[in-house]
Amino acid sequence: MAPVKSFFILSLLIAVSSILNLASAHLSHDFYKKICPKVLPEIRKVVQRAIRNETRIGASLLRLHFHDCFVNGCYGSVLLDDTVNFTGEKTSLANNNSARGYRRCCTRDSVAILGGPDYRVLLGIRDARTASRDAANNNLPAPFFNFSQLLSNFQAHELNLKDLVAPSGGHTLGFAKCATFRNRINNDTNINPKFAASLRASVCPASGGDNNLQPFDATSARFDSVYYQALLKKKGLLHSDQELFKGNGSRSDRLVQR
């Protein structure tokens, strides 16, 4: 692939994090240098062990980071349990029984360990003290969104088309549940027929098996461009994935082809 494309994806993921932070005062790359100088190497060791034990945790960390940042900024609100004062994000439609992981440094480390570029993150963000399930449901893009809905969703966060196409490349890692792509493999026309048939036969029947897992692409434990290559072949797993490439020469098509 393309180290360049890999770097392009991560650069925009970092940009998304920065844009979605509501306040960035007093943040720095070396925030813990004096008070806890060994924290970053220790975090990486923990992430390495976790990925060694279960490769999927790398994808989970990347997903968790996006789901946290896209709802009121990167403050860790997705990690908060419900209290008598609020119902948190853990039980939202996008996160319930599927959001696992820790925080920003862990996400950076997991991407690097799985073959993506390393990068620096701003540290020192204060933890969230409240969370909102409704905010998560209203802000996180759904797997059945069409292109207009996806773009509107990102524009509502002051992001543009490039910011939409690039972070979607995070689906180079991980899996999706049958329930999120059943309608696509049975009803979509913008899908490779043999690909759809193989999924119906092997992992996602017409009924039952909602929690059966299918990798987003053929190299689900490697940070690469195979996800985008799949879109060019009409083999995007989710409806929202394939909406980024329709083969009509649009600007979105051209970004996927880069």
Does the annotation list 78 as a binding residue?
A: no
End-to-end CA distance of the chain: 11
Does the annotation list 89 as a binding residue?
A: yes
CB 118 within 8 A of CB 108: yes
- Gyration radius of the chain over CA positions: 18
Q: Which of 166, 159, 57, 50 is nearest to 117 (CA)?
A: 166
Does the annotation list 141 as a binding residue?
A: yes
Does the annotation list 71 as a binding residue?
A: yes
Does the annotation list 77 as a binding residue?
A: yes
Does the annotation list 217 as a binding residue?
A: yes
Residue 40 backbone phi and psi in degrees, to 5: -70, -45
CA dist., res. 63 & res. 78, Å (int): 11
Whether 67 is catalytic is yes
Does the annotation list 180 as a binding residue?
A: no
User: Which one from 29, 67, 157, 239 is the annotated catalytic residue?
Assistant: 67
Alpha carbon 180 to its chain centroid, in Å, reads 15
Does the annotation list 172 as a binding residue?
A: yes
- What residues contact residue 163 under an 8 Å CB cut-off, 6+ apart? 12, 15, 16, 19, 154
Binding residues: 68, 71, 73, 77, 89, 141, 171-172, 217, 224
Binding residues for substrate, as ranges, are 141
Q: Write out the catalytic residue numbers.
A: 67
Task: State the binding site for heme b.
Answer: 171
Q: Which residues are annotated as a binding site for Ca(2+)?
A: 68, 71, 73, 77, 89, 172, 217, 224
